[in-house]
Amino acid sequence: MKTKITLLFLIIFSFMYSQDNFEFKAVYHLKYKIDSTENTYKTENFILLFNKNKSLFLAEKQYKRDSLLAKNVGYIRARSRYNSKFQEYIMTNLNEQTLLFKENLFNSNFGYVEKINNNIIFTNKQQKINGINCKTAKTKKYGRIWFLDYSDDYPFQFGPYKFIGLPSLVIKARDKQNTYIYELVSIHKIDDKSIKIPPRYQSKYKNLTKSQFNTIKEKIKYSDYIFKDIEFEDPTLKRRLSKKRKLRKLRENNPIELSDI
């Protein structure tokens, strides 16, 4: 994968930020197997916006869709152009050592807050990834063993997904089975005016525990929950929809998180 990395060391000393603005943008490429029986990977790109203390992580398609919505492009048109399998937003705050995970489920916003706790084991391994000098750390998180390659050339404590709080930027993150692999594609300082956290990402949401959130998401995605009170003219339709959701559950047997912690 060809990687375009902008050198940042000349910028670091003049790094001015606001708690409400982002000044850096990184792009990560994810290869993943949501179905553990599949041999081929699915892929998607993600955006990481950050300043010294805060970050926002979301699918690139979500980012582009929301940019269109900000220009008053219709929702259906925007979603048809940029529809992502990953509907969540992850916002982190280093000062508070927390991350907020939000997702719109069946037209309602739900979310939960986690403490940043990586339980990192630092190793002596060093390597170059796409020309970047990296050190390797290891952690057990969400039911998986992860290997995290980070670079002191980029002294920002952020990374893809929920991999926050290492000494410097995470360049690559992969689980032991290589079923989820995030890799940095590009990073640059935002040259125009700072990007503020869009109001959409700060909208109100129902705050749940992580366990409650996962239970609701499971119901909405894989069960008859959303149409249990609907009367169908065709009595076979409900059975077909139910069967389709059960098959979806079987196909999506390898989520990124296998446990809550």
- Is residue 51 pLDDT above 80, yes or no? yes
Q: Where residue 227 falls among pLDDT bands split at 50, 70, 90?
A: confident
C-beta separation of 152 from 49 below 8 A: no
- Is residue 120 pLDDT above 60, yes or no? yes
Mean pLDDT over 29-34 rounds to 98
Assigned CATH class of 18-202: mainly beta
Q: Tokens standing for 243?
A: 């069967």
pLDDT at residue 195, as a whole number: 59
Query: Distance between CA atoms of 130 and 144, rounded to whole angstroms?
Result: 25
pLDDT at residue 107, as a whole number: 81
Query: Is the whole-model pTM more than 0.85?
Result: yes
Residue 187 buriedness (CB in 10 A; 0-12 / 13-18 / 19+): buried
221-256 burial code (b ≥16 CB/10 A, e <16): ebeeeeeeeeeeeeeeeeeeeeeebeeeeeeeebeb
Query: Distance between CA atoms of 18 and 114, rounded to whole angstroms?
Result: 23
Q: Where in the chain is the domain with CATH 2.50.20?
A: 18-202
pLDDT at residue 76, as a whole number: 58
Mean pLDDT over 230-246 rounds to 87
- Is residue 193 pLDDT above 70, yes or no? no
pLDDT at residue 1, as a whole number: 55
Helix ranges (DSSP H) in the chain: 9-12, 60-70, 75-81, 210-222, 235-251
Q: Where residue 260 falls among pLDDT bands split at 50, 70, 90?
A: very high
Q: Where residue 29 falls among pLDDT bands split at 50, 70, 90?
A: very high
Q: What is the pLDDT of residues 65-101, one digit of tens each?
A: 877 766 666 665 656 677 888 999 999 999 999 999 9
pLDDT at residue 75, as a whole number: 60
- Is residue 155 pLDDT above 70, yes or no? yes
- The SS3 call for residue 71 is coil
Percent of the chain with pLDDT over 90: 64
Average pLDDT, the chain: 86
112-136 burial code (b ≥16 CB/10 A, e <16): bbbebebebeeeeeeeeeeebebbb
Mean pLDDT over 202-220 rounds to 91
C-beta separation of 51 from 22 below 8 A: yes
pLDDT at residue 79, as a whole number: 63
Higher-pLDDT residue of 133 and 20 is 133
Q: Where residue 232 falls among pLDDT bands split at 50, 70, 90?
A: confident
